[in-house]
Amino acid sequence: MKALKVLAILFLLYVAGQSIYLYLNERADRQRLEQNVILAKRGIEYYQTKDNKQVAKITAQEFTISEIKSGIAADVIKELKNMKIDVKSVGGFTQNIITNEKYIVTHTRDSIINDTVTAKVFSYNDAYYSIYGYEIDCIQHVNLSHIDSITQVFYKGDRYTKKGKKMPKWWFFTPKKLTQAIYCKDTTSKIIYSKYVNIVK
C-alpha cells in the first residue's frame, strides 16, 4: 500500500512537471513569435564604419522548421525550393536588396565604330563602375558594369525585452539576439531591405 502511494505521488509529480514544462515551452514560443513581429516592424538600423561606410544592421527572426513549413515564412520556403535546398538542413537564411545611385558626367567624342559607322562615343571608369556607350541617329547604346564587395557578419548583438524594447549593453537579464551586419565597399550602394531568419532546431 505504501509503495502504491509513493508511485502515485511520483506519477502526480511527473504529470505536474510535464504540464509546467509544456506551459513554459508554449509561453516561450508565443513570446518568440510576438518578438519576431516587433523586430520585423523595426526594420533596418544604419550606422557608420570607422572609414565612413554605411552599415545596415538587422536582428534575426527565429522560427522552428515546423513554423516555417506551416506558412509563417512562405517566402523562405519558396527561395529554398528554388535553390533545391531542404529546409531541414538549413541553419539560417538571409536576404538583402541593394540599390545603387550615382550621378556621372562624361564627355562624348566623335568616333568610327564597326569600321564604317560614325558615332558619338562616351565612357567612364572608376573603382566600381565601368560604362561604355555610343549614340547613332539619336539612339544611345550603353554597356554598364558594376562591381562591389559585400561584407556580412553574424554575431550576438543587442538585448531586447520580451516586448521588443532595446536594452542598454550592461543589461544581462535577457540574452543577446543574433544579428546581421552588412555593408558595401561602394558608397553609392545602399541596402534598402534586409531579412535574417535563424532556424531554431
- The vertex-23 CA angle with 17 and 25, nearest 5°, equals 100
pLDDT for position 115: 66
> What is the C-alpha to C-alpha distance for residues 195 and 96, in angstroms, rounded to an integer?
6
Which pLDDT tens digit goes with each residue over 156-176?
A: 888 877 677 777 877 888 888
Q: Does the pLDDT of residue 181 top 90, yes or no?
A: yes
What is the rounded CA–CA span in Å between residue 178 and residue 195?
12
> What is the number of other CB atoms lying within 10 angstroms of the CB of residue 194?
20
Please report where in the chains the cell 532546431 appears, as a residue. 201
| Greatest CA separation for the chain | 110
Q: How far apart are CA 189 and CA 185, in angstroms?
A: 8
Chain-wide mean pLDDT for the chain?
83
- What are the DSSP calls for 39-60, one per residue? HHHH--EEEE-TTS-EEEEEEP
Is the pLDDT score of 177 beyond 80?
Answer: yes
pLDDT at 131: 92
Percent composition of the chain: helix, strand, coil (DSSP 3-state, to 5): 30, 45, 25
Per-residue pLDDT for 56 more than 90?
A: yes
Q: How far apart are CA 43 and CA 50, in angstroms?
A: 23
End-to-end CA distance of the chain: 44
CA–CA dist 61, 40 (Å, integer): 7
pLDDT, tens digit (0-9, with 9 covering 90-100), for 113-144? 776 777 888 899 999 999 999 888 888 889 99
Contact 36/63 with Cβ under 8 angstroms?
Answer: yes
- Cα 177 to Cα 58: distance, rounded to the nearest angstrom: 10
pLDDT of residue 1: 65
1-23 pLDDT, tens digit per residue, is 667 666 767 767 776 777 776 66
**Which of the four pLDDT bands, split at 50, 70 and 90, describes residue 26?**
confident
